[in-house]
Amino acid sequence: MLIARVVGEVVATEKHASHHARKSLLVQPLNLDGSNRGDAVVALDAVDAGIGDKVLLVTEGFSAMTSVGRPESPIDMAVIGVIDRVELLPALTDSAS
């Protein structure tokens, strides 16, 4: 899974039947510091995310298909959550040293 930001919507006049009634989003994967991580990707939306939302992105085919309730869908990525906040804790150090 990755953290990403929704940067656009994908509009298609023709699409696979399993995508009926689902939005396709253009999402930009992010590093933990909020900087871009690689190229933007297309993902099927399961949570009604919008442009600018920080989201949780699943990036494996079977997980993506089942998380959007479309087990026969030809997808690799799906938006499965809207992130309210990310809180990073300081790294734990080994106290035994």
DSSP-derived secondary structure letter, 36:
B
pLDDT at 70 over 60: yes
DSSP output for 4-15: EEEEEEE--SS-
Domain boundaries, the chain: 2-9+22-82
Q: Counting every residue, how long is the chain?
A: 97
pLDDT at 35: 95
- Residue 31 — very low, low, confident or very high, per pLDDT cuts 50/70/90? very high
- Residue 91 — very low, low, confident or very high, per pLDDT cuts 50/70/90? confident
pLDDT over 70 for what percent of the chain?
Answer: 94
d(CA 3, CA 28): 9
Cα-Cα-Cα-Cα dihedral sign, residues 20, 23, 25, 31: negative
pLDDT over 90 for what percent of the chain?
Answer: 48
pLDDT at 86 over 90: no
- Fill in the amino acid letter for 40: A
Start-to-end CA distance of the chain, whole Å, equals 33
Q: Which superfamily is assigned to 2-9+22-82 in CATH?
A: EutN/Ccml (2.40.50.220)
pLDDT at 79 over 60: yes
pLDDT at 95: 57
Closest CA to 30 of 83, 90, 68, 89: 83
Using DSSP's 3-state secondary structure scheme, residue 15 falls into coil
d(CA 15, CA 21): 11
